[in-house]
Amino acid sequence: QHCASSNLASTVFEIQSSLEYPGWTEYREEPTFKFDRNEIRGNGQEYETRVSNEWIGIQQCPESQIDQVPELYQKVVIQYGKSRLPQINFHQYNRTGFCGLQDCSTDAFPNAMIQALYFQEAIRGLVLSHSCNLDQCLVCELSFLFHKMDQSPGFVCQSNNFQRAVRISQVALALGLVLPDSSASIDGFTMIGLVQAWNRFMLEQFHATDDRLLGKQCEIQAVKMTKCANCKGCLSVEYDNDNVCNLKYPTGSEKTHFEDILVASLNCVGTKPSWCSLCRHFQMANQRRQIQCLPSSLTVNTGLDQGTSLDFWRDQCVQLVTSSKGGNNENGQSWIPKRLTLRRLANGHLKGGSEELSPLEREEILEDVQYELHTVCSTIVDPGTGQALNVVAGINVGDFYHARVGSPVMPTSLVYPRRINRVSSKQPEIVPLSSSSVGFEVLSPIWGHGWPLTFLPLDVNEVPSAGDLVALDAEFVTLKPEQKSLGEDGCWRTVRLAKRARVTCLRGQGPMTGVPFVDDYISCQEEIFDHVTEYTRIYPGDLDPTASTKYLTSMKTTYKRIRYLVDVGCIFVGHGLKNDFDMLNIVVPVEQVVDTVHLFQLLNRRLLSLKFLAWYFLGKIIQVGTHDPTEDAATALELFQRYREFEALNNVPEVLCQLYKEAQANQ
């Protein structure tokens, strides 16, 4: 191994020395090896010679020091089973009454910021109340995720649908917020920049909606004035609104208060050459930003993705610790204050709460806002390699959430909050809005989306109500080749990245029992690896908006339809519904779910397939050739009706025992 490494390094230098550069391309003909491609042979003498002559600028990779990172901040590796369900006890890591977000892909790095937005009551209420008709709306997707988190206290939710909506956003792609699934480890500085960019991107999505309350929640309203440095004439006045304040640090390492840095960053000044019509010449112009209105929720990007900024931050923390020795450090050795005050004067200047104001300035105060630290979002970095390990958030959830979920949380202390600090108003103007209700009209088909229809829409006399039965089945396609991972028990697990593709709902009672009223083919803008036609009866082109002859809808429309049925209290009947609801990103109360896979199961015995249950109880042969979701949903509905008959006869245990005897005989 020692000699093999030396010759490998030598070969690398030989390739680099003969690179050709036609334009932006670098290439060289692949070298020919007389032995295995992953093996290079040599001897010890050649190794010593090449080290002294050619091993220049090459250093050994630093060793990881992840053991120095507290376990609380490390990312938990999740193993998946054959059914794509995580094989992990999440309660071991979350003993609070708060909902967690599952980190299941490279695009899950914003989960900490999603939690920060969720726990801001004003923003959460406005997002939940948002509803629009756009097929691609990230605020709507975030609203769906917030609703699921509301319905899952103490549990873990997946943010797959929201992440997929971000992946197909052209703006997110242009900003580099979409990471490849096979991306290597990311260094800490890059991750800090990614999280800050994602934070700004999401707040801009709020501002792009028609909801003025949501758009103004984080907006810093300001104007930028440009004056000639020579004649002092005003050259221009333009709007300079923003949703985020980027901290700008002074040179040097003198002790500075965080509040002073924030005020200077909000009232930033600068110079640039500009044409002056009075001087009739290009002159240096002074630019100054004047705040016109302070936001209810102030978001601050610390800008620690630059080495100089990080050095300044460290110097301030070191001076804070040194000055607090032998004294009382109210901030717990944190440079970020728990509370700060900003005063906006009539002349547009901004003053901090610790600054002494003259009597004249006191009379000019237009706004006197006290902010309280709400969230510190931090990037956890390996001390040895500098690679980003995780992104976490320390959130002050407040008494409201403690009373709401009835559970305490573990206090978290972040000494170096290297990344994003969110400060929200101590007394924000909270508008008590509830989640907008979706009406019956959401079940009506949208004309022109592909004909003929494979379902019969509900009539106005069939408006669903609490207790109505709805048979449901959902089918999925795979977006990427299956991946195998070795589980903790030594068994190989196969993981497939699936996407919802077709959702079918059938009437569960009345003269038209078993007739579908929803049969949505969900449009897919991503490349599909496998349509799994033998299980889904979905063929290539069925999900393509330009070629499909099916009734195509967006996932957002289908979600609203299922959400409406859940909200009115319908009872869903199906086979294996848990995975269907997880992929649909919706939470259904247990009392509204009838899953035949569990109805016909003895305690601690294996689950039986729908095909076998249909043959045994109904005498029907289903799933011949391909699976038909309408047939599967109707079969589950018939099985539920048979189960009710067994319950009426009070012989369910005997029926199940006989069922498993037959299953064992036919396996």
pLDDT in tens, 197-214: 999 999 999 988 888 888
- Highest-confidence segment of 63-72, 185-194, 313-322: 185-194
Closest CA to 395 of 411, 420, 374, 419: 374
Distance of alpha carbon 490 from alpha carbon 487, whole angstroms: 5
Name the DSSP letter for residue 38. T
pLDDT exceeds 50 at position 224: yes
- The answer to whether 476 and 437 have CB atoms below 8 angstroms apart is no
CATH, range 440-666 = 3.30.420.10
- Highest-confidence segment of 288-302, 372-386, 558-572: 558-572
Residue 30's pLDDT band (cuts 50, 70, 90): very low
The residue to which tokens 């924030």 are assigned: 262
For residue 486, the model assigns a pLDDT of 53
pLDDT in tens, 238-289: 888 888 888 888 887 788 888 888 999 998 888 888 888 888 889 898 888 8
Rg of the chain over CA atoms, in angstroms?
Answer: 31
Total length of the chain? 667
pLDDT exceeds 70 at position 634: yes
pLDDT exceeds 70 at position 159: yes
Distance of alpha carbon 415 from alpha carbon 424, whole angstroms: 20
Q: Other C-beta atoms within 10 Å of 432: how many?
A: 7
Residue 667's pLDDT band (cuts 50, 70, 90): confident
Distance of alpha carbon 476 from alpha carbon 500, whole angstroms: 4
Distance of alpha carbon 145 from alpha carbon 101, whole angstroms: 10
More confident residue, 542 or 637: 637
Indicate the residue type of 592. Q
> What values do phi and psi take at 367, rounded to 5?
-135, 135
More confident residue, 34 or 219: 219
User: Longest C-alpha distance within the chain, in Å?
Assistant: 100
User: Can you name the residues that pair with 256 across neighbouring β-strands?
Assistant: none
pLDDT exceeds 60 at position 361: yes
- Per DSSP, the residues of 428-486 read ------PPPPP-GGGGSPPTTSSSS-SS-PPPGGG---TT-EEEEEEEEEESS--EEEE
- The answer to whether 148 and 587 have CB atoms below 8 angstroms apart is yes
Residue 416's pLDDT band (cuts 50, 70, 90): very low
Residue 335's pLDDT band (cuts 50, 70, 90): confident
pLDDT exceeds 90 at position 324: no
Closest CA to 102 of 141, 152, 57: 152
Distance of alpha carbon 357 from alpha carbon 351, whole angstroms: 8
Distance of alpha carbon 102 from alpha carbon 108, whole angstroms: 8
* pLDDT above 70 as % of the chain: 75
pLDDT in tens, 571-590: 999 999 988 888 888 889 99
Distance of alpha carbon 412 from alpha carbon 397, whole angstroms: 12
pLDDT in tens, 464-514: 999 999 999 998 887 766 555 555 455 555 555 676 789 999 999 999 999
- The answer to whether 621 and 615 have CB atoms below 8 angstroms apart is yes
User: Can you name the residues that pair with 368 across neighbouring β-strands?
Assistant: 343
- Per DSSP, the residues of 111-167 read HHHHHHHHT-HHHHHHHHT---S-SS-HHHHHHHHHHHHHT-TTSEEE-HHHHHHHH
Start-to-end CA distance of the chain, whole Å, equals: 51
Residue 39's pLDDT band (cuts 50, 70, 90): very low
> What values do phi and psi take at 400, rounded to 5?
-60, -45
For residue 77, the model assigns a pLDDT of 66
* Measured CA distances, 594 to 89, 144, 268, 464, 505 (Å): 25, 23, 61, 17, 14
More confident residue, 163 or 31: 163
For residue 85, the model assigns a pLDDT of 54
For residue 168, the model assigns a pLDDT of 86
Angle (nearest 5°) at CA 576 between 573 and 582: 100
Name the DSSP letter for residue 80. B
Evaluate the CA torsion angle 265, 268, 273, 274 in order and state its sign.
positive
pLDDT exceeds 80 at position 525: no
For residue 15, the model assigns a pLDDT of 34
519 three-class SS: strand
pLDDT in tens, 526-568: 778 888 888 778 888 888 888 888 888 888 888 999 999 999 9
Name the DSSP letter for residue 23. T
The encoded tokens of residue 277 equal: 């019509």
Evaluate the CA torsion angle 404, 405, 411, 415 in order and state its sign.
negative
More confident residue, 333 or 524: 524
For residue 438, the model assigns a pLDDT of 57
User: Can you name the residues that pair with 156 across neighbouring β-strands?
Assistant: 100
For residue 628, the model assigns a pLDDT of 86
More confident residue, 438 or 310: 310
What is the chain's mean pLDDT, rounded?
77
Domains of the chain by residue range: 2-53, 440-666
pLDDT in tens, 64-101: 777 788 877 777 766 555 555 555 666 667 777 788 88
* 338: Cβ contacts below 8 Å, ≥ 6 apart: 330, 331, 372, 373
**In the 3-class helix/strand/coil scheme, how is 545-612 assigned residue by residue?**
CCCCCCCEECHHHHHHHHHHHHHCCCEEEECCHHHHHHHHCCCCCHHHEEEHHHHCCCCCCCCCCHHH
